[in-house]
Homo-oligomer: A and B are copies of this chain.
């Protein structure tokens, strides 16, 4: 009963009007040919695939789940394999990949927009190509020329898929504890032995081969995270022609029963002397894997953006159709037995919260993708560095802020439906269950916050943060004297000042004890998230005001302006609480002895 329409108008607004993508890409030699028409075509055609092929499999896939058929065999839900074939046939896996390996070489920002739609349509399905894309990026950055030549064309085309094998039963966040061993063999390969858990897409029936990127320890490796190496360990060893040959000694032992993403196989993988090959330098595996993890973290933010969008669309339809009660100010539709529930202020609060989080998240995430394109391809070194710094700074924010908001947003969607939201047939409860994992995997949101405050802000004395502050200052400078922008610019400028002060304050306290950073980190990340959203909502309000002045597409821009106003009136005030909590320090958390909890 749920529905999904690709939000192409809003995507175009972000891509073409807010970010002026065509113009921005014209500065990047590898993407200078990418124009608006091409981007729109991807949105249209990709949107069709998502809404017509993948979305209809979302609820059936959730209900059926993956099957463990014994002896390492995993079967995906009905229709998944067929959708995969259509996905491959349309060339979608190759969209943003390197033409040297069969890719179409489109910029990441285009892939980001497509990825949003994939996740709105079917997060569990989208994880199969999502992980594969991560492994392409990792091998592209760290593989040998031979490894690239052998694996990348198959992974790019979607003939094979990829996984990342990090977690073990006793270690997830703290990978330094991992025990999987890699024994060197005379032929230069390694025998990998150990058990990995929580391996998304670890085994399935979509592809001819599955390429595992596995973290393991060499015999002489130092203890901890500096003794971890990365290995490529395919399910079938490629034969002389590069085709799947001998079965490797890696096997799915079982799949997990879990709260959501039922249609993605979460596997326990047993490596029993499996043949693997080193990727990158010995003992530098964590660095190599971080290429994949950083991309994956942005990807997880996108998953929640996708779920937020589809939850909003459905809640909106329901709120307009469901007749229940009368407006507090008197009947609005006196001919009907009751008014549609969208007349009620709190239903509107829920819908506008969804809308403001979703559209703000879209602006933020797509802008991040553009920064990634610039970081990779800008001809100017300083521009590359700036883009890379902003990307590094805000990767944990896009992951944690968008996934926390996505969980809130899917829950609001359910709440709009009332009791019907809790029932399977309406589809809303699946969005809540699927969205929940995004706050946990690829580094919990606490880990993201420590990455932001500890590594990205305090460790370089706020240099990266100041680069974002400069963007804010420029906007405040250019729009700060306009009366019609005051309602957006003033709270933005105020928050930017507060972030600056708060950062210094925490930095000073952290000199005394690192627990001070740990105590403030989660609040701090949300505050920075609101700074980013305030910045983009102010910019979007500015565009909307200009278009309304020109009397262009009034309804769209009126809605954008109203949503900006809602954001500053009802959501940004959360920062008042967050700042108080962040400033409360470590003592209220650390005072109690662990035994007394």
Point out residues on A near B: beta carbons under 8 Å.
167, 170-174, 177, 198, 256-260, 316, 320, 323-325, 327-329, 337-338, 340, 342-349, 351-352, 355, 407, 411, 414-415, 418-419, 421-425, 429, 432-433, 436-437, 439-441, 444-446, 449-450, 513-515, 517-519, 521-522, 555, 558-559, 562-563, 565-566, 569-570, 573-578, 580-581, 584-597
B346:A518 contact, CB within 8 angstroms: yes
When the two chains form the complex, which single residue of B259, B320, B324 contacts A177, counting CB atoms closer than 8 Å?
Answer: B324
When the two chains form the complex, which single residue of B171, B559, B577, B589 contacts A575, counting CB atoms closer than 8 Å?
Answer: B577
B422:A259 contact, CB within 8 angstroms: yes
When the two chains form the complex, which single residue of B324, B514, B578 contacts A328, counting CB atoms closer than 8 Å?
Answer: B514
Q: State in angstroms the CA–CA spacing of A351 and B345 once bound together.
A: 34
With contacts A173-B418, A338-B174, A515-B328 taken as known, whether A348 is within 8 angstroms of B257 at the C-beta atoms is no
B345:A519 contact, CB within 8 angstroms: yes
Q: Which residue of B lies closest to A340 (CB)?
A: B594
Having A348-B592, A562-B588, A570-B584, one finds 4 other A-B pairs with CB under 8 Å, namely A258-B423, A414-B436, A558-B592, A570-B581
Chain B residue numbers with a CB within 8 Å of A592 are: 348, 352, 558-559, 562-563
A172:B559 contact, CB within 8 angstroms: no
B436:A432 contact, CB within 8 angstroms: yes
As for how many copies of this chain the complex holds, the number is 2
Q: State in angstroms the CA–CA spacing of A445 and B441 once bound together.
A: 30
Chain B residue numbers with a CB within 8 Å of A338 are: 174, 177
Chain B residue numbers with a CB within 8 Å of A351 are: 597
Chain B residue numbers with a CB within 8 Å of A555 are: 595-596
Most chain B beta carbons < 10 A, residue from A337, A343, A419, A578 = A419
Most chain B beta carbons < 10 A, residue from A338, A578, A596, A597 = A597
Chain B residue numbers with a CB within 8 Å of A347 are: 446
With contacts A414-B436, A444-B415 taken as known, whether A589 is within 8 angstroms of B566 at the C-beta atoms is yes
B177:A345 contact, CB within 8 angstroms: no
With contacts A419-B172, A515-B329 taken as known, whether A562 is within 8 angstroms of B591 at the C-beta atoms is yes
A348:B422 contact, CB within 8 angstroms: no
**What are 5 A-B interface contacts by the 8 Å CB criterion?**
A258-B422, A328-B513, A346-B449, A422-B437, A558-B592
Q: State in angstroms the CA–CA spacing of A433 and B429 once bound together.
A: 9
Q: State in angstroms the CA–CA spacing of A519 and B348 once bound together.
A: 9
A349:B519 contact, CB within 8 angstroms: yes
B444:A418 contact, CB within 8 angstroms: yes
Most chain B beta carbons < 10 A, residue from A555, A569, A575 = A569
Chain B residue numbers with a CB within 8 Å of A573 are: 577, 580-581, 584
A559:B596 contact, CB within 8 angstroms: yes
Q: State in angstroms the CA–CA spacing of A352 and B597 once bound together.
A: 8
Chain B residue numbers with a CB within 8 Å of A437 are: 422
Chain B residue numbers with a CB within 8 Å of A419 are: 167, 172, 198, 440-441
Chain B residue numbers with a CB within 8 Å of A198 are: 419
B518:A259 contact, CB within 8 angstroms: no
Chain B residue numbers with a CB within 8 Å of A258 are: 422-424, 429
A325:B173 contact, CB within 8 angstroms: yes
Q: State in angstroms the CA–CA spacing of A559 and B576 once bound together.
A: 28
A259:B433 contact, CB within 8 angstroms: yes
A422:B260 contact, CB within 8 angstroms: yes
Chain B residue numbers with a CB within 8 Å of A576 are: 576-577, 580
Q: State in angstroms the CA–CA spacing of A415 and B419 once bound together.
A: 26
Chain B residue numbers with a CB within 8 Å of A577 are: 573-578
When the two chains form the complex, which single residue of B436, B513, B514, B515 contacts A422, counting CB atoms closer than 8 Å?
Answer: B436
Which 4 pairs between the two chains have the least Cβ-Cβ distance?
A: A328-B514, A345-B518, A573-B580, A577-B577
B518:A594 contact, CB within 8 angstroms: no
Q: State in angstroms the CA–CA spacing of A521 and B328 once bound together.
A: 12
A440:B424 contact, CB within 8 angstroms: no
Q: Which residue of B lies closest to A167 (CB)?
A: B419
Most chain B beta carbons < 10 A, residue from A449, A573, A574 = A573
B584:A513 contact, CB within 8 angstroms: no
Chain B residue numbers with a CB within 8 Å of A559 are: 592, 596-597
Chain B residue numbers with a CB within 8 Å of A323 are: 170, 177
Most chain B beta carbons < 10 A, residue from A323, A343, A422, A595 = A422
Within the complex, what minimum Cβ distance (angstroms) separates A445 from chain B?
Answer: 8
Chain B residue numbers with a CB within 8 Å of A581 are: 569-570, 573-574
